[in-house]
Amino acid sequence: MSLMLSVGARVRKSPFFAATRKAGLTAASVYNHMFMPTSYGDPAAEYDRLVNGVAMWDVAVERQVALKGPDALKLARLLTPRNLDGLVIGQGKYVPICNYDGVIINDPVLLQVDEDEIWLSIADSDIVLWAAAIAGAHRLDVRVFEPDVSPLAIQGPKSTDVVADLFGDWVRELKYFGFLITELAGIPLVVARSGWSKQGGFELYLRDGQRGQELWDLVAKAGAPYGIGPGTPNYVERLESGLISYGADTDAETNPFELGMDNFINLDQPHEFIGKSALKAIKAAGVKRRFIGLLIDGAPFKGGNEHRWDVTLNGAYAGFASACAYSPRVGSNIGVGLISTAAIAAPDGVAVITDDGILPARAAPFPLV
């Protein structure tokens, strides 16, 4: 399941990179051309901290793409099919980005940080290139660049107490995706209520790449009374919760309706945006597959799957399972994938072709717990 990583200058490092290694990092993947921590060697303890306690994650790989200038909002409206009316400083939004074919190419969190400045907190694709090209082609008055900003997530049911001890009780009132630009011991940052888990939590967007170790140490110290420990975006909890992992769960044809993002796609807006006509056609035709959970029979999986596993209905191809694992809380193997609507509706006859044999499975709605 694991492999040595060659650490060199080409793959970028997080400002928390040294801190994570001191904390016992044992595995990493690559995301947005950066090393992304994936394990500290004890998956059971990392899962337990997230679900019952509090964990801190280096998620600097969630790179920010800044749109800065008089046309920042105009560019954002071109980039996403989501309605951005009423956007205010201090409130974030989940904004799918599609190409001209209506295929999803990223699913960032958008933050309006100033009157003329928007950040896209991106998943794993090169949105800085895409956004700069669109801005240029439309002759917009906006600069597109990656600012020195690096999120550190604090996730789990005890995260609110930790973050309140650090910043004050006002953080308890923050709405989901709400944020405030502030500082901690002179370290410039953004405190946001967000994060890639359904266990509650915050993200501190560090705004000075020289001060990663300092921020890491402050959070570790404040979290110590609550049993905080290092963790990473959690492979099992995200399957239970049905959080989408762009690039893992999506392929070169995936559209936002297949992902259940209907509420984030507003096709009746008067202005043009990229993918509008394609998305209208896709919506009119209806989808043939959907992102869904799977309950999978068999002995508990030892780890995750290295490749997508085919899913079949009565022996015929019916989609793929992109990530699978044993869930202690479900008490079963689970997975997520893009599966045909016929297989989702089938009472039986569904199977997953795993590396260790064919296992019966059933589609199940999120959350799986």
Residues that bind ligand THG (CB under 6 A): 62, 94, 107-109, 121-123, 151, 194-196, 203, 243-244
- CA nearest neighbour of 176 among 154, 151, 202, 153: 202
The nearer residue to ligand THG, 149 or 321, going by C-beta atoms, is 149
Distance between CA atoms of 292 and 193, rounded to whole angstroms?
Answer: 26
CB neighbour list of residue 232: distance below 8 Å, 6 or more residues apart: 36, 37, 38, 39, 40, 46, 57, 58
Q: What single string gives the DSSP state of each residue in 238-264?
A: HHHHT---TTTT--TT--TTTTT-GGG
> Shortest gap between Cβ of 260 and ligand THG (angstroms)?
9
Locate 31 and state its tokens: 């995301």
3-state secondary structure of 24: coil
The nearer residue to ligand THG, 200 or 298, going by C-beta atoms, is 200
The nearer residue to ligand THG, 121 or 312, going by C-beta atoms, is 121
> Shortest gap between Cβ of 349 and ligand THG (angstroms)?
29
Contact 30, 171 (CB under 8 A): no
CB neighbour list of residue 352: distance below 8 Å, 6 or more residues apart: 294, 296, 309, 310, 311, 312, 321, 324, 335, 358, 359, 361
Length of the chain: 369
The nearer residue to ligand THG, 150 or 354, going by C-beta atoms, is 150
> Shortest gap between Cβ of 49 and ligand THG (angstroms)?
17
Classify the C-alpha dihedral 213-215-219-222 as positive or negative. positive
> Shortest gap between Cβ of 366 and ligand THG (angstroms)?
8
Which letter does DSSP use for residue 186 in this model?
T
3-state secondary structure of 124: coil
Distance between CA atoms of 29 and 241, rounded to whole angstroms?
Answer: 22
Locate 154 and state its tokens: 């604090």
The nearer residue to ligand THG, 57 or 301, going by C-beta atoms, is 57
> Shortest gap between Cβ of 101 and ligand THG (angstroms)?
21
> Shortest gap between Cβ of 85 and ligand THG (angstroms)?
15
The nearer residue to ligand THG, 177 or 226, going by C-beta atoms, is 177
> Shortest gap between Cβ of 176 and ligand THG (angstroms)?
7
Distance between CA atoms of 366 and 369, rounded to whole angstroms?
Answer: 8
> Shortest gap between Cβ of 149 and ligand THG (angstroms)?
10
The nearer residue to ligand THG, 39 or 121, going by C-beta atoms, is 121
Locate 196 and state its tokens: 């890639």
The nearer residue to ligand THG, 78 or 111, going by C-beta atoms, is 111
Contact 349, 311 (CB under 8 A): no
> Shortest gap between Cβ of 204 and ligand THG (angstroms)?
10
CB neighbour list of residue 72: distance below 8 Å, 6 or more residues apart: 116, 117, 118, 142
The nearer residue to ligand THG, 76 or 109, going by C-beta atoms, is 109
The nearer residue to ligand THG, 50 or 351, going by C-beta atoms, is 50
> Shortest gap between Cβ of 363 and ligand THG (angstroms)?
18
3-state secondary structure of 301: coil
